[in-house]
Structure 1
Amino acid sequence: MPDPELFPVQSSLPTAASHFGAYVLADAAARALKATEAPPLASSSPAPPPVDVPAADLRRILGGPSGLGTASLRFPPREEPPTPLPALSSSPAEGIAIPGLYHHPVAEPDPVRVEEVSRRIKAWALDEVDLFPGDWEDQFDGFSVGRYMVACHPDAPTVDHLMLATRLMVAENAVDDCYCEDHGGSPVGLGGRLLLAHTTLDPLHTTAEYQPQWAQSLQSDAPRRAYRSAMEYFLQEAGPSQADRYRHDMARLHMGYLAEAAWAQQDHVPEVWEYLAMRQFNNFRPCPTITDTVGGYELPTDLHAQPAMQRVIALASNATTIVNDLYSYTKELASPGRHLNLPVVIAERENTSDREAYLKAVEVHNELMRDFETAAAALGAACPVPSVQRFLRGVAAWVDGNHYWHQTNTYRYSLPDFW
């Protein structure tokens, strides 16, 4: 009998189900398990309401890369390079965690995988998509994307699976840097650039006369070349619903870019709640949402679309993005112009000192993190489907790996002197 952790269940929850509740998810779990003839994971009685989950259940469900619950993961066998490769210049540094920031330490990512992913991604960037000029090489190495992705995806069965996430991460950052930020970016005209770049992910369907012109445009700049290539690799592994899910989350990301650009053009500092709304779109969501593709399985569409799962993903993405605001705070202050981040917005809108605003932003992050963990634990208890359980663990691992990378990337980040 197939191991349900390795072969995703196929849910038959009716698409007309428009609301989430314990009984809806219990029915989905029963149908999914029956469809695969997998042994039941819980009693046949209705699942309990997703509230008041004990701390022990939280640890059981969200045991991530730090070692909690890893004995039950039963991931596919890993394909490793036969021998370790020479270390690249972007070696890890220990770093210092932000005092008071709620996070979970993780084990050092597999160095063999880190080096192999680092080697492959640099070859892809230079040889396949001509991503950056030579004088950007130090910045590319300093990003340490191999260590980042290995830390965030501990259940990836092969290096090839890790590369799916790594190419997309690099491509997303190329668009951000070259269209929005300090490598030639500008809020002026950003909408047009993003729209055309998005067609590399969501292809244009047009007439025969104009199709060649669009196809030629996909090679016109480095961000579009990177998007196009990364998406082509992703489609080799992702199912249709996984690919469409990713496109949707990238559209969310691009909408967030546009909101921030509009505020920059107006020299407008949003209210704190408005900034947090923008950050729910301009955030890391496209990364954890593909954790099942990178893991070599699929979370069924109807389970992914449930409001409870969407809340879990949104909270995780919001928390990880505030981590970025906090660790990149001094870097952004040293850059030209005014960069919006949560401490800056709190300081201006709530008339506090920089230190008070930063410490309040830490509290905002911590509340989001605890809400994420509570929501994930409740959903896992209510819906004991193997693919749901594994997806929740994968999102939690991504959250922890994202913090690890920010903490240890001292090439890019340093902390303010607020303690």
Structure 2
Amino acid sequence: MSAPEPTPPQSSLPETAARFGTDVLTDAVARACDIKAVTGGAPSAPAVPEPPALLVPEPPEPPELPTPSVPAQAGAPAPEADLDRILRGPTGLGTAGLRLSLREEPQPAELPATTEPSAAEGKPIPGLYHHPVPEPDPVRVEEISRRIKSWALDEVSLYPDDWEEQFDGFSVGRYMVGCHPDAPTIDHLMIATRLMVAENAVDDCYCEDHGGSPVGLGERLLLAHTALDPLYTTREYQPQWAESLYSDAPRRAYRSAMEYLLQAASPAQADRFRHDMARLHLGYLAEASWAQEDRVPEVWEYLAMRQFNNFRPCPTITDTVGGYELPADLHARPDMQKVIALAGNATTIVNDLYSYTKELDAPGRHLNLPVVIAEREGLSDRDAYLKSVEVHNDLMHDFETEAAALAADCPLPNVQRFLRGVAAWVDGNHHWHRTNTYRYSLPDFW
């Protein structure tokens, strides 16, 4: 008999944040629904202009590559008892305020009707700590979806015809609208959307689904990174580099998406994004080295890799997409960097959990947290998956605790808004994973 699906607990943050009037992260539904409460009013920002065209050769047509198979469910039902440990919550110093009063018998949360998933929308992973949010604005979703497809086809020739279903199934419009509820215009949302699509093109074409390989990955990533962090060389060799930016779909996408970002971002915002993309590429290389060695890393090593190969570049630009700037000295604070890192870590484990069956169904061995825990700690697939849920929950609680402490210590309006923006990204990221049943299905572990 299947175990009942426990309702995700809601957070209870330290009182210090409340004294400063921040209430950071405590009401995810209100955050997403009421932008005025989050931002103090919609920011005024001009629409982002189109970037100038570069005088370089037209891009070639990308090669046709095989389409990956549709994910299938895996695993087998198991008793209810093992779910109890997921609901125990974090332990250790400073975590008492995060405990729920009724962990053994969680009560259903009162949420707006719009947050209840239908069967077609998928259900959240049982026991996963998260904040349900309403559906993203359908008008914005439709317009973003139209524009991003036009960009992908007409501006950068991102994919051949037989990839169209997968591109549509990714639902990137819903993803970005849900993650950036305070974006003032469609143009600002498109900044994040292009970058997200470009990053996925690099991951798919260089690393994974569409012909990616660990062999030679370092060279490919380095040359692609010059589309974000331009090469300054002699006049003799500069034109060859400029032409190389059109040599494949990932580089075309990186170049174009970065040009749009530069129309809206300050130099400091652009440079911080380049830094986080370098972190991402370093994480890709670590994972590639394990694939070449056919080695499963220790759990702590895998988590170290995931702090680099994760979603960090996305929430780090939340102020650019929101039409304002968190000054460089505030963004660089160690406590702010810790909050951003924890947000990236937690959201990436969400990806590990929701994509688990998709990766099991793909050729070869894909490393994700449940696979690594099962191998290194000698657990069954099911127990390793449930322990991975615990790891995610601990990271989420740490993220919220650190964000509340920072909000209390630095009660500046732009800091408060940035923290809320990062939290909205965390919530929107889970919502997209949970509802994207085209890509993801849950294992039958409950």
TM-score relative to the length of structure 2: 0.78
Q: How far 1:61 sits from its partner (Å)?
A: 1.6
Q: Deviations over 1:207-250 (max 9, x none)?
A: 00000000000000000000000000000000000000000000
1:353 aligns with 2:316: no
Identity of aligned residues (%): 80
1:76 aligns with 2:49: no
Contact 1:129 1:225 in 2 (8 A): yes
Structure 1 counterpart of 2:262: 235
Which sections of structure 2, spanning at least 5 residues, go unmatched? 1-12, 46-118
1:292 aligns with 2:282: no
Q: How far 1:74 sits from its partner (Å)?
A: 2.5
Task: Label 1:100 to 1:55 Cα distance change in 2 as closer, same or farther (>3 A).
Answer: farther
Contact 2:283 2:309 in 1 (8 A): yes
2:364 pairs with one of 334, 337, 347: 337
Letter matched to residue 385 of structure 2: Y
The CA distance in 1 between the partners of 2:336 and 2:223, in whole Å, is: 31
Runs of 4+ in 1 over 4 A off after TM superposition: 51-59
1:61 aligns with 2:24: yes
1:373 aligns with 2:400: yes
Contact 1:53 1:378 in 2 (8 A): no
The CA distance in 1 between the partners of 2:433 and 2:363, in whole Å, is: 22
The CA distance in 1 between the partners of 2:22 and 2:439, in whole Å, is: 32
Q: How far 1:310 sits from its partner (Å)?
A: 0.4
The CA distance in 2 between the partners of 1:154 and 1:333, in whole Å, is: 33
The CA distance in 2 between the partners of 1:391 and 1:237, in whole Å, is: 17
Q: How far 1:56 sits from its partner (Å)?
A: 5.2
State how 1:17-416 maps to structure 2 within 5 Å: 53=15, 60-63=23-26, 66-68=29-31, 70=35, 71-76=37-42, 93-416=120-443
Contact 1:256 1:282 in 2 (8 A): yes
Q: How far 1:182 sits from its partner (Å)?
A: 1.5
Contact 1:63 1:393 in 2 (8 A): no
Q: How far 1:60 sits from its partner (Å)?
A: 1.3
The CA distance in 1 between the partners of 2:159 and 2:202, in whole Å, is: 12
1:62 partner SS: coil
1:417 aligns with 2:444: yes
Q: How far 1:206 sits from its partner (Å)?
A: 0.1
Q: How far 1:52 sits from its partner (Å)?
A: 5.2
The CA distance in 2 between the partners of 1:312 and 1:216, in whole Å, is: 39
Q: How far 1:75 sits from its partner (Å)?
A: 3.5
Letter matched to residue 186 of structure 2: V
Structure 1 counterpart of 2:57: none
Q: How far 1:73 sits from its partner (Å)?
A: 2.2
Which sections of structure 1, spanning at least 5 residues, go unmatched? 1-50, 80-91
Structure 1 counterpart of 2:60: none
Structure 2 counterpart of 1:27: none
Q: Deviations over 1:322-375 (max 9, x none)?
A: 000000000000000000000000000000000000000000000000000000
Contact 2:44 2:184 in 1 (8 A): yes
2:398 partner SS: helix
The CA distance in 2 between the partners of 1:169 and 1:55, in whole Å, is: 32
TM-score relative to the length of structure 1: 0.83
Task: Label 1:63 to 1:233 Cα distance change in 2 as closer, same or farther (>3 A).
Answer: farther
Contact 1:110 1:150 in 2 (8 A): yes
